[in-house]
Amino acid sequence: MTPDPALLSLNVATVRAQWSLEQAIDGCARHGIGWIAPWRDKLAECGVARAAQLIRARGLKVSSLCRGGMFPAADAAGRRAALDDNRRAVDEAAAIGALCLVLVVGGLPPGSKDLAGARAQVKDGIAALLERARAARMPLAIEPLHPMYAADRACVNTLSQANDLCDALGGGVGIAVDVYHVWWDRELAAQIARAGRRILGFHLCDWLVPTTDLLLDRGMMGDGVIDIPAIRRLVEAAGYVGPREVEIFSQNNWWKRDPDEVLRVIKERYAAAC
Find residue 69's DSSP bridge partners.
Answer: 104
pLDDT in tens, 91-110: 999 999 999 999 999 999 99
Instruction: Give CA separation, 37 vs 13, 57, 82, 235, 253, in Å.
Output: 9, 16, 22, 19, 21
Report helix, strand or coil for 2.
Answer: coil
Angle between helices 48-57 and 21-31 (to 10 degrees): 10
pLDDT in tens, 163-210: 999 999 999 999 999 999 999 999 999 999 999 999 999 999 999 999
pLDDT in tens, 28-58: 999 999 999 999 999 999 999 999 999 999 9
Q: Is a pLDDT exceeding 80 seen at residue 241?
A: yes
Report the C-alpha gap between 273 and 221 in whole angstroms.
6
Report the C-alpha gap between 119 and 108 in whole angstroms.
9
Task: Name the phi and psi angles at 136, rounded to 5.
Answer: -85, -5
Q: State the pTM of this model.
A: 0.98
- Residue 256 is predicted with a pLDDT of 98
The distance from CA 85 to its chain's CA centroid, rounded to whole angstroms, is 17
Report all structural domains of the chain as residue ranges with CATH numbers, in order of start.
5-273 (3.20.20.150)
Find residue 10's DSSP bridge partners.
Answer: 36, 246
Cis omega before residue 218 (within 30°)?
no
